[in-house]
Amino acid sequence: MFQSRTHNCNELRLENVGEKVKIVGWMENVREVSGSLSFVVVRDFYGTSQIVAETEETIKQFRDITKESTISVEGTVRERASKNPNMPTGDIEIVPEKIQVLGRCRYNELPFQINHSRDADESTRLKYRYLDLRNPEVKNNIVLRCNVVSALRSSMTEQGFLEVTTPILTASSPEGARDYLVPARNHPGKFYALPQAPQQFKQLLMTAGFDRYFQIAPCFRDEDARADRSPGEFYQLDMEMAFANQDDVFSVLEEVLPPIFAKYGAYNIASSAPFTRIAYKDSMERFGSDKPDLRIALELQDATEVLANCGFEPFAGNCVKAVVVPSFTQTRKFIDKLCAEVEVQAGNKVYWFRLDENGELVGGISKFVTEHKDAVVAALGLKPGCFVGLSAGKTLAAQKTAGVLRKMLGASVDGLMNKERYEFCWIVDFPMYEIGEESGELEFCHNPFSMPNGGLEILNKVEAGEADPLEITAYQYDLVCNGIELSSGAVRNHDPEIMIKAFELVRMGEADVKAKFPAMYNAFSYGAPPHAGIAPGVDRMVMLLAGEDCIREIIPFPMNKNAQDLMMDA
């Protein structure tokens, strides 16, 4: 029978000198200093300890054990002759009396070296994730995740929120992403769907009288992956409050998140609560994005008036946006590469010119600008040595392209961005409706359950032709941190009458609401509270806290980009 250890590998100190102990763990390294002196490093979850072998017999015994085997060492703690101040257990070492192999590593060579696993090919890391996770750097992200989840849970509970679990096997919801389906054995031809979010259930909980709900909720969406989006499944801190408005939701998260970011974050929080609120329209205007990275010290400028008619064909009749970088010293090669990358990402061209040290217009499309130089310099506030990047098109396209350019400049030009901090903001007042690109007709902009700003009244005005539907905003909001959309939420539309009216404006009606969302429609007809909620992504939050750029670094067993589990799937 296996006898338990007396101490873990991070526990022993000077005061333990002389004690008989037993430690267990993975044999990380052997350093043979001579034929009669060798040091062995044993690692467990908690840390590492040094074993010293001083007899030829012990040295040979360790030499015959392959690295990364699990071993147990019983022996006596001794003060080291030469201490290692960088190691918590660096003052002591263990003189072994009994050494046992518990689990032999059958390979001399591993797929990668444990302590350098982060440098290895990612497919190999995922296939041997259990080895990858032995690397303390990798493991620590998972520990961080656990701590963050635990902190979120207690903070929400402290705020009076009740954790309620909602079904995993449920009915498909017609809106949104692609579902994952599970065959229903008792109902041939029918399927359960895994929830894309507990959206409807939490709203039904509100209707049932639960006042404050939350859940660390697994969500399933069959969509393609990104660096900050793992395929298939992810977790949200899903929450909903009854008899509440937008400000109520904001103050909960402004209370819950900052202390957790302060305690567990790799960087400092730059934005104190209450977080900056930026209207969607302003965000597009100033940053060319609805998830602006406020760490970047650049804003878009409008150059339509001074440049639309400068004679440069692509600008004619278009909206023109400019991003100006003062004291720009990068090479022509850099600019070309930058423009090419923006073009790929934005699907739209970028143009540029520079005002050199002598105040002369040079490079790019400067010859088209020369004639209007004074006006352009004045309008954009240009100083010698600056770079001007330009985009053109319909307003939204020009904004988005300039937004991509802004982001790339921020990431690649020194001095534009202090990366080591957290900048939060709320994006508010999203439009309720938009003209669909394919249909060319009025459509819901986001989800159809948000409360329109102005309620039934404004919808009636639209119907009467007295208001523009495209001007209606919804009580819909995003929480953004460092250019990453952490969360989306809304004040919900809890009134069936307003719901039907909202659907009628997009050529649907009561029958559609009933057919698509029967439970919610029925429930709301029995007296529903005004309610609002939000659902911050846990994975993305941990990713930000860990200072990682890739979501897989903070998931214990991630799938690859193609939604395959390389470890389990032979």
Partner RNA sequence: GGCCCAGUAGUUCAGUUGGUUAGAACGCCAGCCUGUCACGCUGGAGGUCGACGGUUCGAGCCCGUUCUGGGUCGCCA
Is there binding between residue 429 and RNA (CB under 7 A)?
no
Binding mask 296-325 for RNA (x = CB under 7 A): ------------------------------
Selected binder of RNA within 47, 88, 90, 530 (CB under 7 A): 90
**Cis ω for the linkage preceding 274 (within 30 of 0):** yes
Quick one: tokens of 85?
């101040």
Shortest distance in whole angstroms from residue 196 CB to RNA: 6
Is there binding between residue 35 and RNA (CB under 7 A)?
yes
Within 8 A by CB and 6+ apart from 265, the residues are 422, 544, 545, 547
Q: What stretch of H or E contains 278?
A: strand 276-279
With H, G, I as helix, E, B as strand and everything else as coil, classify residue 243. Answer: coil
Shortest distance in whole angstroms from residue 295 CB to RNA: 17
Name the residue nearer to RNA (CB basis): 33 or 362: 33
Is there binding between residue 62 and RNA (CB under 7 A)?
no
Stretch that binds RNA, among 16-24, 135-143, 155-163, 196-204 (CB under 7 A): 196-204
Q: What stretch of H or E contains 403?
A: helix 395-412
Shortest distance in whole angstroms from residue 366 CB to RNA: 27
Is there binding between residue 110 and RNA (CB under 7 A)?
yes
What single string gives the DSSP state of each residue in 1-60?
-PPPPSS-TTT--GGGTT-EEEEEEEEEEEEEEETTEEEEEEE-SS-EEEEEE-SHHHHH
Name the residue nearer to RNA (CB basis): 35 or 440: 35
Is there binding between residue 494 and RNA (CB under 7 A)?
no
Selected binder of RNA within 39, 180, 191, 267 (CB under 7 A): 39
Cα–Cα distance between 308 and 157 in angstroms, integer? 56
φ/ψ of residue 490, rounded to 5: -165, 155
Shortest distance in whole angstroms from residue 292 CB to RNA: 14
Residue 83: other Cβ atoms inside 10 A? 13
Quick one: tokens of 153?
């849970």
Residue 250: other Cβ atoms inside 10 A? 21
Stretch that binds RNA, among 48-56, 135-143, 298-306, 390-398 (CB under 7 A): 48-56
How far lies 503's CA from each of 171, 185, 506, in Å? Answer: 22, 35, 5
Stretch that binds RNA, among 4-12, 121-129, 351-359, 413-421 (CB under 7 A): 121-129
With H, G, I as helix, E, B as strand and everything else as coil, classify residue 249. Answer: helix
Q: Look at residues 520, 475, 513, 493 and name the one whose alpha carbon lies nearest to residue 208.
A: 520
Strand partners, 322: 301, 390
State the burial class of residue 216 (Cβ atoms within 10 Å of its Cβ: 0-12, 13-18, 19+). middle
Is there binding between residue 18 and RNA (CB under 7 A)?
no
Q: What stretch of H or E contains 146?
A: helix 136-158
Selected binder of RNA within 32, 495, 504, 548 (CB under 7 A): 32
Name the residue nearer to RNA (CB basis): 32 or 356: 32
Cα–Cα distance between 476 and 485 in angstroms, integer? 14
Selected binder of RNA within 5, 139, 153, 229 (CB under 7 A): 229
Under rule CB under 7 A, how many of the chain's residues touch RNA? 65
Is there binding between residue 84 and RNA (CB under 7 A)?
yes
Stretch that binds RNA, among 140-148, 253-261, 367-375, 558-566 (CB under 7 A): 558-566
Interaction with RNA in 441-480: which residues (CB under 7 A)? 444, 446-447
Selected binder of RNA within 11, 19, 122, 356 (CB under 7 A): 122
Selected binder of RNA within 297, 507, 564, 568 (CB under 7 A): 564
Interaction with RNA in 155-194: which residues (CB under 7 A)? 173, 175-178
Which residue matches tokens 């005002």? 355
Shortest distance in whole angstroms from residue 382 CB to RNA: 29
Is there binding between residue 351 and RNA (CB under 7 A)?
no
Is there binding between residue 29 and RNA (CB under 7 A)?
yes
| Residue 108 C-alpha from the chain's centroid | 38
φ/ψ of residue 469, rounded to 5: -60, -30
Is there binding between residue 61 and RNA (CB under 7 A)?
no
Name the residue nearer to RNA (CB basis): 176 or 556: 176
Instruction: Using CB under 7 A, list all residues that contact RNA.
Output: 29, 31-37, 39, 41, 50, 52, 54, 66-67, 80-84, 86-87, 90, 93, 108-113, 116, 119-124, 173, 175-178, 196-197, 199-200, 221, 223-229, 344-345, 347, 444, 446-447, 550, 560-562, 564
